[in-house]
């Protein structure tokens, strides 16, 4: 797995509002936070974590960093991420929401050119239960086990993890890829990672209406994933967000040769059906479907 108890982690924006809340929680979970970055606050420390003005200073002092968690101001996220990439870090977890989409476009061009994995933004990050917490997942909801959990949301991810844990199904990893229109890593990338991950026996994909991530994921599952996948889609009864209705989105969807129905619950449900992925009709049904899937595998 890309992330383990041995991973050396940096927190950028460690004294920003999100960093202040989550850095101590990650540290309590056992995540090896080797340094924090907060411009203007070098040579101080936060909860025993040494704080530096610049990523490269941190690395020069504490040594190599495997992953950085970025939780600064939304308008500073691009610069923080580029700084991390320039310093040689190739795993980035972006928590902050409200990052301007064109900043993400620029970041993702750079990430692709440097083969950097970017998780988020607007994301709860990653938890490998019993190993490492890189984000906001509440540790009590999780337990080690065979379920790989991938999702676009935050609190709903925790909810699903809780239901799984209470039903006795621990998780190999849980990842929130982020709720924004433009995010780094996709469902497909994570499906592939989980397909190859030995600890993962079954994959739970938590989707929601809007966008085409679930439709694309379903197609990818049919083509490339052998492990069983269980899905859940939130928003069956909610109207699509108004932003979905604007001319640009309609045109983009239409032109990309997709149905105008793209993004609806029905479209996503149909895609998963076509990929023979069972879809839970409520969170509490997910553990049942996981159980069935695990029985089939063994």
Partner 1 sequence: MDLLEYQAKNLFQQMGIPVLPSQQISQPKDLKGLKIPYPIVLKSQVYTGGRSKAGGIRFVENTIDAVAAAQAIFHLPIMGQYPEVLLAEARYQPERELYLAVVLDRSSRRPLLLGSQEGGVEVESVVGQMQQVIVDQEFSPFYARRLVLKMGLRGELIQTVSSVVEKMYRLFLEKDLDLVEINPLAVSARGEVMALDGKIIANNDALARHPDLTALCSQQPLSNRTRITGALPAGMNLVELDGSIGILCNGGALTMATLDLVYKAGGKPANYLNVGGEFSHHLPPNTLPERVRQGLEVLGRDRGTKVVLLNIVCGGVGCDDVTEAIAAHWRRRSVGHRPVLMVRLAGSRFDAAHEILRGLEIGVVHDLDEAIAQAVSLSKSKVA
Which amino acids are annotated catalytic?
Answer: 246
Burial string for 155-176 (b: 16+ CB within 10 Å, else e) reads ebbbbbbebbbeeebbbbbbbb
Q: In the complex, what is the shortest distance from the CB of residue 6 to partner 1, in angstroms, rounded to a whole number?
A: 25
Burial string for 61-84 (b: 16+ CB within 10 Å, else e) reads ebeebbbbbbbbeeebbbbbbbbb
Q: In the complex, what is the shortest distance from the CB of residue 69 to partner 1, in angstroms, rounded to a whole number?
A: 11
Pick the piece of the chain touching partner 1 (CB under 8 A) from 1-9, 59-67, 137-145, 188-196.
137-145
Residues in 7-66 at the binding interface with partner 1, rule: CB under 8 A: 16-18, 20-22, 25, 39-43, 53-57
Does 251 bind partner 1 (CB under 8 A)? Our answer is yes
Residues in 138-197 at the binding interface with partner 1, rule: CB under 8 A: 138, 140-141, 151-156, 158-159, 162-163, 179, 181-183
Binding letters toward partner 1, positions 204-223, x by CB under 8 A: --x-xx-xx---x-------
Q: In the complex, what is the shortest distance from the CB of residue 129 to partner 1, in angstroms, rounded to a whole number?
A: 15
* Closer to partner 1 by Cβ: residue 49 or 80: 80
Residues in 102-121 at the binding interface with partner 1, rule: CB under 8 A: 102-106, 108-110, 121
Number of residues that this document lists for the chain: 298
Q: Which listed residue (35, 46, 72, 290) binds partner 1 by CB under 8 A? A: 72
The number of helices, as runs of H, and strands, as runs of E, in the chain is 10, 14
Distance CA 231, CA 95 (A): 24
Secondary element (H or E) of residue 11: strand 8-12
DSSP E strand stretches across 19-106: 32-37, 44-46, 49-52, 67-70, 91-94
């Amino acid at each position: 797995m890309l992330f383990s108890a041995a991973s050396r982690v940096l927190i950028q924006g460690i004294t920003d509002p999100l960093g202040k809340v989550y850095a101590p929680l990650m540290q309590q979970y056992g995540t090896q936070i080797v340094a924090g970055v907060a411009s203007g606050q070098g040579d101080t420390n936060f909860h025993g974590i040494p704080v530096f003005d610049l990523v490269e200073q941190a690395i020069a002092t504490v040594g190599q960093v495997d992953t950085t968690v970025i939780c600064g101001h939304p308008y500073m996220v691009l610069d923080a991420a580029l700084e991390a990439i320039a310093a040689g870090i190739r795993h980035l977890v972006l928590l902050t929401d409200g990052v301007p989409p064109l900043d993400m476009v620029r970041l993702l061009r750079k990430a692709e050119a440097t083969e950097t994995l970017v998780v988020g933004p607007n994301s709860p990050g990653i938890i490998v239960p019993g190993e490492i917490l890189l984000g906001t997942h509440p540790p009590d909801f999780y337990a080690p086990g065979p379920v790989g959990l991938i999702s676009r949301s935050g609190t709903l991810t925790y909810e699903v993890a809780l239901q799984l844990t209470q039903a006795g199904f621990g998780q190999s990893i849980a990842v929130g890829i982020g709720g924004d229109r433009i995010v780094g890593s996709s469902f497909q990338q994570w499906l592939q990672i989980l397909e190859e991950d030995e600890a993962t026996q079954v994959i739970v994909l938590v989707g929601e209406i809007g966008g085409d991530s679930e439709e694309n994921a379903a197609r990818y599952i049919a083509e490339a994933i052998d492990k069983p996948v269980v899905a859940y889609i939130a928003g069956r009864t909610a109207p699509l967000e108004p932003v979905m209705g604007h001319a640009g989105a309609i045109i983009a969807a239409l032109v990309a040769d997709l149905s105008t129905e793209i993004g609806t619950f029905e479209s996503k449900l149909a895609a998963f059906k076509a990929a023979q992925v069972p879809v839970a009709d409520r969170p509490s049904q997910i553990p049942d479907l996981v159980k069935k899937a695990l029985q089939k595998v063994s």
